[in-house]
Amino acid sequence: MYKIALTGGIGTGKTYLSKQFVQMGIPVFYADDEAKKIYQDPKVRQSLCQVFGTEILFSDGSVNLPKLSTIVFSDEQQLQRLNALVHPWVMEQFEKWAEQQNAPTVMMESAIIFECNLNHLFDKIIVVDAPLELRIQRISKRNPELTRDDILQRMSRQMPQETKCQQADLVICTGETYGEALRLQKDSI
């Protein structure tokens, strides 16, 4: 089975492009969605509380993801601790999911393939790129509660786009419309 990672910084257009790959017949595993599921596991919540404190829980015992995000996106060490807890489980889930797919190629969509040193687990790495201001506009539209400074801070916690692009097997640039990017991906995969 051929395994592709689709990665890129926040707001580059990964999710949109991944849906296009699904239409092309390539199943896509969404790492962020799987990561959110892990927070429902009582053992994981206990580990998270040991690392980040009980203030990351709502009164019903569920994880307050906005609070956790505030903590980890303001401190690089805390972000690394969270990734160390979550990503081994996510990769395990990806491998199980991939085995169940009836396709010669599968894809994982994740913003932090390089940051978590997962790139060696894939046959091809595709990086999605977009101009900075367009990325900020996209993020502001889907997360209106975030200020420009909040967005820039989150971006600063990810590997620079230029570095990701240099390490990619293929870079797909998105713009105001996705038409050109879609043409490029079909010609390149």
Residues 154-166: pLDDT tens digits?
Answer: 898 889 999 999 9
Q: So what's the pLDDT on residue 177?
A: 56
Measure the CA–CA gap between 151 and 158, rounded to whole angstroms: 11
Cβ atoms of 103 and 27 closer than 8 Å? yes
Of 29, 169, 162, nearest in space to 108 by CA: 29
Task: Indicate the burial class of 23 (C-beta count within 10 angstroms; 0-12, 13-18, 19 or more).
Answer: exposed
Q: So what's the pLDDT on residue 5?
A: 97
The more confident residue out of 189 and 91 is: 91
Q: So what's the pLDDT on residue 176?
A: 64
Strand 105-109 to strand 124-129: parallel, antiparallel, or no bridges (unpaired)? unpaired
The more confident residue out of 128 and 80 is: 128
Of 70, 69, 71, 45, nearest in space to 57 by CA: 45
Confidence of residue 85 (pLDDT cuts 50, 70, 90): confident
pLDDT tens, 15-65? 889 999 999 999 999 998 988 888 888 888 888 899 899 999 999 988 998
As a whole number, mean pLDDT of residues 117-127 equals 94
As a whole number, mean pLDDT of residues 167-187 equals 67
Lowest mean pLDDT among 78-92, 95-109, 113-127: 78-92
Measure the CA–CA gap between 112 and 133, rounded to whole angstroms: 21
As a whole number, mean pLDDT of residues 115-138 equals 93
Query: Is pTM beyond 0.85 here?
Result: no
Q: So what's the pLDDT on residue 169?
A: 94
Q: What values do phi and psi take at 108, rounded to 5?
A: -110, 130
As a whole number, mean pLDDT of residues 165-173 equals 93
